[in-house]
Amino acid sequence: MRFHVATLGDPGAPLMILLHGAFGGWFEWREVMQPLADAGYRVAAVDMRGYGMSDKPPREYELRYAVGDISDVIDSLSDSGAIVVGSGTGGAVAWTLAANYPQCVNALVSVSASHPIEMNRVIAARFWQHTVPLTRGIAVRFPARLAPDPVDLARFDLAADTSASFHRTQRFAEYLELRTQAARIDNTGPAMMRNARLEMAQLPPKWVSTRVEAPVLWISAFNGTWRALATRNSRRTDGAWTQVTVPGTKNLPHIEDPAGFTRVVLDFLRDPGDAR
């Protein structure tokens, strides 16, 4: 497998891997890459399997393959692991990677994301509070001939995951266009639909009870859904736990407020202490 990885920063600096969600691409990190690199990190934003200029195999999009992909990317760029930042389904991959390949993950930054097992449990307990992930989950499981247009899903997802005030900005229009272009790249649509399933993926039995040893920064909106997920995910960790929100943002703070997002990440990395 060959992966497109956009990088900034000193090749000898600590590695930071950025993983996008189901309907995005590496470009969703473009406004935070330079300030993170300026702070002393080698920043690498990955186009996941099936996206952008990365390879697009016809199959093997299950979670174990995505986790293996990112483990391989980290090994190719660093001899000492990485800080792994994951948004949405990229966060589900990051959680699973941290729990099962601890040598790869020095710190985990979870951006509006959850370990898949905890996402499934919270949704099962209060399904009526989780209409967006359920809508996505149902839509991406339709047979190909009945499935929604990935371009439409990419637009729906961006609107659902950002605040109403952001929808009126030029930057929202720019990201909408970037997502539209990305979804129209040959053979990317099927990959998006498969990647979207990772949020609530079933894990191999040996991965069900593994725990995260690395320090974790949990970034999410402050509401009942995310509070419940934060509580459950924190119980899967043995290291330091820090929980924050980026005021005025919803589920894509790195897009809505790049400066605020960068600030909370760098504050955490300066002192990843336990804030339980």
What pTM did the predictor assign?
0.93
What are the 10-residue block averages of pLDDT along the chain, 276 residues in total?
97 98 96 99 98 94 97 98 98 98 98 96 70 54 59 90 97 97 90 90 93 98 90 97 97 99 98 63
Domain tally, the chain: 1
The answer to whether position 29 is within a domain reads yes
The answer to whether position 153 is within a domain reads yes
pLDDT at 147: 55
The answer to whether position 210 is within a domain reads yes
pLDDT at 190: 86
In CATH, what number is assigned to the domain containing residue 198? 3.40.50.1820
The answer to whether position 152 is within a domain reads yes
The answer to whether position 114 is within a domain reads yes
pLDDT at 174: 98
Q: State the DSSP string of the chain.
A: ----EEEES-TTSPEEEEE--TT--GGGGHHHHHHHHHTT-EEEEE--TTSTTS---SS--SHHHHHHHHHHHHHHH-SS-EEEEEETHHHHHHHHHHHH-GGGEEEEEEES---HHHHHHHHHHSGGG-HHHHHHHHHTTS-TTTSPPHHHHHHHHHHHTS-GGGGGSHHHHHHHHHHHHHHTSTTHHHHHHHHGGGGGPPPPGGGTT--B-S-EEEE--SSHHHHHHHHHHHTTBSS-EEEE--TT--S-HHHH-HHHHHHHHHHHHH------
pLDDT at 68: 98
The answer to whether position 216 is within a domain reads yes
pLDDT at 130: 54
pLDDT at 275: 45
pLDDT at 13: 98
Which residues span the domain enclosing 108?
5-270
The answer to whether position 208 is within a domain reads yes
The answer to whether position 275 is within a domain reads no
